Structure formats: structure tokens, C-alpha cells
Chain A
Amino acid sequence: MARYGMALDYKNCINCKACEVACKEENGVELGAEKHRIWVGGNNPDGQWPLLDIASAAFMPSQCQHCEDAPCQEVCPTNATYYDENHVVRVDAEKCILCSYCMNACPYDARYVDDRTMTIDKCTFCSDTRLARGETTTACQNTCPTKVRTFGDLDDPNSEISELLRTRDHFSLKAHLGTNPKLFYLT
């Protein structure tokens, strides 16, 4: 039993999108720009030339936040969305009725329809692929050239992620919504 989370040193992101490709390859995610479990977001720099705020244009890699209090889980009418033994938010495709309520409820736009199964799909922290094979990293973490992502057990005080969260300032996305995300952005 673990409580998996991920820390993102997002300022190191160079927007190479290798994580998006690795995720699709490892987890067999459908092709197409709309079908993604993870993504790298970008902003246009604030201000007007020549007074551009370059720092505001940082890249922001993201995915399902695996919230402790996940709105998508609360609204699921058939409990198709559930927390697995490692506190990872998963979808049981057999129970999913494709009502799309979770897509509307997720504050992070982390869910999409898998057209092959006609059910909702999302990031699983590679639970049924890499973790099931006994590996300890996710595909996106493993491939990242600038080591943005650190995946691990938040309950293990000796894990790399616990060490990072102890020693570095960090924030969560849309923390005011009370979803208690398990993705932490290091500052």
C-alpha cells in the first residue's frame, strides 16, 4: 500500500513533449490531440513588446492530479471512478456509463473519452502498465530529459518525493477548491 504522488520541477520543462509521447506509447492512449492523459501547457508571455515578462511564459506540465478528495469520484453515479489501494484515482471501464459527469466535474480537464472502449479515460500513474510490471517510475517521468517529474510514495519518509516536498516550496493547482491534489509544483 502506498500513497502515490508526483512532484514537478516545472520550471525545468522545455516543452519537448516527450512525456506526452511516452505516455501515449506506454499506455496505448489513442492518437489525436484531444486524446491525451497528460499535457504540457504554455502561456503567451504577459506584457507588450519590448516589455515582455518572459518568466510568465513558463511551461506547465500537468495531468490528473489524483486528488485526495476527487470531485470526479464523488459525482460518479456507478462508482466507476474509484481510489485504488495506492490512492490512485482510477476508472473501472466495465462500470462506466459515459454520462460525462466526471469530465464536467474535474477542475483540471484531465478526463477524456476513449473511443475504443467508449468510456472515460485518464492518467493512472501507469498503474496497470509500468507499476504492474514492478517498475517504480511512470513513463512520463522516465523519459523526461530535464527530470521535471518525481514520482513516489508520499507516505514513505525516505522517498525522493517526500524529501523534495520537505526541502522545496511547492504549490498545487486550484488548491482553493479543496480537492487536495497529489501533484505538487516545486518553486
Chain B
Amino acid sequence: MKIGPLNIPIKEDFSFKSILDFEKTPLNIFLAVSVLAMLAMFAIGVITYLIHGHHAYGVTREHPWGLLIAVYIFFVVSSTGFCIVGSLGDVFGFKRFEMISKRAIFGSIVTIMAGFAVIAFEIGHPVTMLIYNVLTPGLTSAIWWMGTLYGLYLTFMIIEFYFLLNNDMKKAKIFGLTGLLVGLAAHSNLGGVFGFLNARTISNGVYYPTYFILTAFITGIYLSFIVMGFRYKLNFDQKVKDLLEGLAKIQGLLIAILFFFMTWKLLTDMYGGMPNRAEVAHHMLHTAPFWAEVIFAMLIPFLVIVKDFGRSPKLMVFASLIGMVGIFFMRYNLVHDTQVKPLQMMKLTEYQLPPEWIEYFPSATEIMISLGGLGLCIALYYVGTKAFDLDESH
């Protein structure tokens, strides 16, 4: 270890050359090429957006939030999830989970940075936002609280990570706990962004602010399996197996709770008699992304866990990859289903039928920026593994 700027311990051999130096297995080469391709797509997507503005996106007056909002949510949920998993060890003192704390906290930093990178190209005026967020804060706005708290959260996560690197566990615990609380507040406010919409009966209410915390924990556990799977190349020693078995058992419980939540949400949506809500719920049930969410994010990983009570860590790594695909659909569905029912139910131009459902499909630019966010996230994480010692300190 060498001491870098600001007393940050950096790996002895860290250099530009060490970043390019990796085991040249087919999977690694495939991953490296994919990440480079995704970063190139990010650049192309951003340039297209800078030239054409929101016209480069598939968003419309009736469907103003598109794929980028879903991907932003995907990343910040991942960040909160990583933060919760990281806190199990270094904040709450569960010894079994301590070995993943540093890695998870680093993961929470890179995922939220990827989220910010994506949302910067969805918000029309990000610089104006930074200025007027401070000068004229809209305190009744969930977006204001969410954005401000996430900014604070990122700061606390970075400070916590700094202390973790320096093995100052006491200070790491203080900033970890503060960061976790701020992160949970930020994240439930993100749910509140949808929960406050009284015009959108499918999303209105307390469900999303609480559900977001639950699904963040689930997401964090999937990501933990993925990063640990890569770290140990699926050859887990007993200590890692214990950690992953513990996480799998928690995951089983969380998914079961999620099934319960979702079932009641759907039942009350469909049979609660709220105007418009039942129609949207029935509409949702007939769409493929909804079933992708249920099968990939919940059913498959749940079956893998209950098969032997979480004692198949290798299988769980693959189930977690599938789970993350499902989590993406979960975020996409949340955004799309909120807007799918038109607010204007009359025809506004001649020779047109009254609108029934709002159609939306992401444009190539949106897809490129989204994949770019993923590439950015993986690249940052990879550089982090080269620069910092993310394993448990002894």
C-alpha cells in the first residue's frame, strides 16, 4: 500500500498500466470490450442529446419521463442497496457481513455516480438545478428532498469509504450510520416522487416510499452476490460461503415480503374501486415487462434460495444476474405504468380516436446513454478494484 493524496491508501502497483493488466480469459476480454462499447455508446448518446435535446428521446407531452428516469432509479436503488448491505457489518456490527462492507460501500459510490451521470442528461438544466436548488428551494417537492439528500448521502459515503480504507472503524461507523439514514430518507423520497402524484392513482400513496427501501435491500443483495462472484471467480472459501449463505437467507425473506407487498398492492389496485387505478393494474398484468419483473427479479432467485435455503452461492450468483435484469424491469415498469393512463381523455385533433393508453418506447439515444451508465458503473468499479484494497482488512 502506498499513501496517495489526502492520506488515501492506494495499491502499490496502481497505475494506468495496471488497469490494462488483467487476466486475458474469454469472459474478461468480452467484458472489457463490452464496457468500452458501452462507454462509446454513452459518448454518442450524449452528443446526440446535446445536438437534438429531448427530441432525441422517445418522451412526449403525455409520457414526459422515459428510460433515463428508470435507469437513474435503477442506479440509485442499487446504491442504497449496496449501502444497506455494507452497513450490516460496519454499522450494525454483524461480524459475518464485515468482509463485504468496504466493497459494498465502494459499490454504493460508483452506482450513484453512474445514476447522476445518466440523470444529468435527462434533466434539461442540471446547472440551473444546482443554483436554484439552493437559492429558491421547493421544500414541498419530493424531488428537491431526494436530490439534496442524495447529494449529502454521496458525501457521507465517500467519507465513510475513506475511513474504511484507513481502518478507522469508529469514524467509519459514525459516517456509515449517518449516510445510511440520509440514504434511506433520500430513497424513500424517491418513492415519494411517485407517491405524491395524486393525478396518478396507480402510484399515489405510501406504497412506493416503503417499497423502495425493501427493493433497495433486495437489489443490494443481488449486487453483492455478483461482485463477490467476480471477486472470487466462483471459488468461495468457507468464510465467503458463510457470508453469502447469510445474505441468501435474508434475500429469501425479503423476496417473500415483496411477494406479499405486491400481491396486496395489486389486489387493492384491482378491487379497491379507485377511479382509473383498476384499469391500469389490469393493463399492467397483460404486459411482458411486468412478468419479466416478477419472474426475473423475484421468482427465479426465490426458487434458487428455497431449493436449499441459500446454500448454493454459485447458483445464486447467476440467479442474481437474472435478478438484476428483473430489477431493471421493475424500475422501468414503475416509471411507465405511472404514466400509462392518459390524463387527457378527449380527442384534441380531428380524425383521431380518444386516447386509451399512452405508448412509449425508448429511443436509440436513451438506450445508448443507459447502457453507457452501466458501462461507466462497471468501469469505475473496476478501476476501484485496481486502486483500492476492497477486501476485509485484518
Instruction: List A residues at the B interface (Cβ < 8 Å).
Output: 33-34, 36, 39-44, 60, 71, 74-80, 94-101, 103-109, 111-113, 115, 118-119, 174, 176-178
Contact = CB atoms under 8 A, between A and B. Distances in A.
B199 A71 contact: yes
Q: Interface range on chain B: under 10, 10 to 19, 20 to 34, or 35 or more?
A: 35 or more
Nearest to B139: A79
A106 B199 contact: yes
Contacts of B346: 41-43, 60
Given A97-B123, A118-B124, A79 B136 contact: yes
Given A71-B199, A77-B147, A103 B348 contact: no
A76 B144 CA distance: 8
Given A34-B61, A106-B343, A118-B125, A97 B141 contact: no
Contacts of A95: 128, 132, 136
Contact of A96 (B65, B128, B133): B128
Contacts, number: 131
Contact of A104 (B338, B342, B344): B338
B19 interface: no
A109 B344 contact: yes
B60 interface: yes
B136 A100 contact: no
A47 to B, nearest CB: 15
Contacts of A119: 124-125
Contacts of B347: 41-44
A105 to B, nearest CB: 6
Interface in B111-131: 123-126, 128-129
Interface of B: 53-55, 59-62, 64-65, 123-126, 128-129, 132-133, 135-138, 140-144, 147, 193, 196-200, 275, 338-339, 342-344, 346-349, 353-354
Contacts of B353: 44
Contacts of A113: 54, 61, 64, 124
A125 B354 CA distance: 27
Nearest to B146: A77
A96 B129 CA distance: 8
A108 B126 contact: no
Contacts of B344: 39, 41, 108-109
B199 A105 contact: yes
A98 B133 CA distance: 13
Contacts of B199: 71, 104-107, 174, 177
A177 B197 CA distance: 10
Contacts of B349: 33
Contact of B140 (A43, A74, A178): A74
Given A33-B349, A75-B140, A76-B138, 6 more contacts: A39-B348, A80-B132, A104-B200, A105-B199, A107-B199, A115-B55
